[in-house]
Structure 1
Amino acid sequence: MNVLPLAEPPPRADQRRREQHKLGKRLRHQVGRAIADFGMIEDGDKVMVCLSGGKDSYTLLDILLQLQKKAPVAFSITAVNLDQKQPGFPAHVLPDYLRSLGVDFHVIEQDTYSVVSRVIPEGKTMCSLCSRLRRGALYTYAAQHGFTKIALGHHRDDLVATFFLNLFFHAKLSGMPPKLLSDDGRHVVIRPLAYVREDDIAAHAEARAFPIIPCNLCGSQENLQRKQVMKMLDAWERESPGRVETIARALGDIRPSQLSDPKLFDFLALGARDGALPDAHAWLGGETHDRAT
């Protein structure tokens, strides 16, 4: 008679607590290291944490609040949510949650949903326009209220995925930096989750029972370029565990002389002897030039 294997017993409550404690400690360490490595937060900073209602931004706020209690510098935290007036959006969820924490917060109300729905043809990706409108609203609020840092919930996997998006679809080597000065020079954007794995964020969000709000505007759209890249990274990670972490580390070890961008490395001067070099027109024109014999 065949004997079925016994099912794995569920982890005991004390074991789960130990695992959650270890995970929380790891997240605090990774976020603290990112803040230190990139000089993200200084003494006296007013940090605006952009809270969407997803697992990433909830985790960002949670870890920053924990670090704030023992940080070597004093800084304030304000959670800011942009209510984009999506149909069925549960507007009470975030305020109720933030009040329960006693966190300073503000909700910006701006009907970007109608704008995106009107401008983007049905079936086309809404993410790009939605992102620009959202960024504009948040930047405006940050400027009006004197915030010195804008904290976003992008994590390690987002940074790696953005690199491949730009590589595959835009033919450039660029990514999503952990710290960024906005184009107008008025805002410093920080990504304290830059070293954190998405799987760890998902586990932390589940353990903390955050009231997740799904994005029904763009998050449910299929066949997005980012989803294609994430599927590729997931497959790589299954085949070769640790590969995504290796790629993430490589993004912090750039060697311009080993690439091909003459704006980043002076290839013209490399090994050049005395005398002016002919320009591209001379090489491409095929003209005959007198040479000393």
Structure 2
Amino acid sequence: MKKILGPMRRAIQDFNLIEDGDKIGVGVSGGKDSMVLLYALKLYQRFSPEKFQLEAFTVDLGFKGFNTKAIEKYCKSIDVPFNIKETNIKDIVFDIRKEKNPCSLCANMRRGAIHNALKEKGFNKLALGHHSDDAIDTLFLSLLYEGRLNTLQPLTYLDRKKIYVIRPLLYTSEQDIKNAIEKNNIPIVNNPCPVDKKTKREDMNKLVQNIYNEVPGAKNRILTAMKNKEGLKLWF
């Protein structure tokens, strides 16, 4: 876990993501990113200079076959309290509204559900498992589909909910997360959503991978550019 904990610790320190007395809820979908984040934060909690509370929060969208028991079992094995928020998001998005592009509405409803779950228990921070590859994919999605330069932020304050969203893994690569899953026998719960792996984000990931193949060192330079405010030169 050194390749996870080292970059995560730097991100926490660089962006002041964790403070004394924080009550941090980890958004756990059962996928590799959130499961590694949960385990990493549990390990970090043992030696962190900041004392904080840690619990897992899972939103059940209502899909059949979503194995929340496996997530709960893993949480118990690493001594992290587990919370589940039952919803009918699947019914609303797929059965009632029959959305042709369901991801946006689903994501908004899922965010609302987990924010409410945290507020109900008095938590002030939500930790999400986005990594450096997610940040680059988001940058290109924003540029090509929205006409703006925007990416995932390490720290965001949601004024309406009075909750901070933190992303401690933004210095961490997806490959290191995959390696951590294998080396530490961390379970993964399959996503039963019918459009999983069939989104614009997946298409963008393939495009970015092609760029990496064509331009050696491109990934590191993109990550450097995202942190280089002084190097940002636009028309206005």
TM range (shorter): over 0.9
Confirm whether residue 66 of structure 1 aligns to residue 62 of structure 2: no
4+ residue segments displaced more than 3 Å:
119-122
Residue 95 of structure 1 aligns with an amino acid whose one-letter code is E
Which protein is bigger by CA-based radius of gyration? Answer: 1
Query: Of the candidates 118, 124, 138, which is equivalent to residue 148 of structure 1?
Result: 124
- Structure 1: 5+ residue runs without aligned partners? 1-23, 262-293
Q: 1:240 to 1:257 in 2, by over 3 A?
A: closer
Partner of 2:219: 244
Relative to the length of structure 1, the TM-score reads: 0.76
Q: Following the alignment from structure 2 to structure 1, what is the Cα–Cα distance between the partners of residues 129 and 136?
A: 14
- Report if the CA contact (8 A) 2:125-2:165 is conserved: yes
- Report if the CA contact (8 A) 1:155-1:193 is conserved: yes
- Report if the CA contact (8 A) 1:166-1:175 is conserved: yes
Partner of 1:165: 141
Query: Of the candidates 40, 52, 72, which is equivalent to residue 29 of structure 2?
Result: 52
- Report if the CA contact (8 A) 2:119-2:161 is conserved: no
Partner of 1:28: 5
- Report if the CA contact (8 A) 2:60-2:84 is conserved: yes
Query: Of the candidates 80, 91, 114, which is equivalent to residue 114 of structure 1?
Result: 91
Residue 259 of structure 1 aligns with an amino acid whose one-letter code is L
Q: How many equivalent pairs are there?
A: 236
Q: Following the alignment from structure 1 to structure 2, what is the Cα–Cα distance between the partners of residues 77 and 157?
A: 25
Q: Which moved more, 1:124-133 or 1:72-81?
A: 124-133
- Report if the CA contact (8 A) 1:42-1:75 is conserved: yes
Q: 1:115 to 1:121 in 2, by over 3 A?
A: closer
How much has 1:130 moved relative to structure 2? 1.0
Q: Following the alignment from structure 2 to structure 1, what is the Cα–Cα distance between the partners of residues 161 and 229?
A: 25
Partner of 1:199: 175
Relative to the length of structure 2, the TM-score reads: 0.94
How much has 1:178 moved relative to structure 2? 1.0
- Report if the CA contact (8 A) 1:125-1:218 is conserved: no
Q: Which moved more, 1:42-51 or 1:244-253?
A: 244-253
SS of residue matched to 1:37: helix
Partner of 1:179: 155
Q: 1:252 to 1:216 in 2, by over 3 A?
A: same
How much has 1:91 moved relative to structure 2? 2.8
Q: Following the alignment from structure 1 to structure 2, what is the Cα–Cα distance between the partners of residues 62 and 140?
A: 23
- Report if the CA contact (8 A) 2:8-2:172 is conserved: yes
Q: 1:159 to 1:119 in 2, by over 3 A?
A: farther
Q: Following the alignment from structure 1 to structure 2, what is the Cα–Cα distance between the partners of residues 218 and 193?
A: 27
Structure number with higher helix proportion: 2
- Structure 2: 5+ residue runs without aligned partners? none
Partner of 2:208: 233
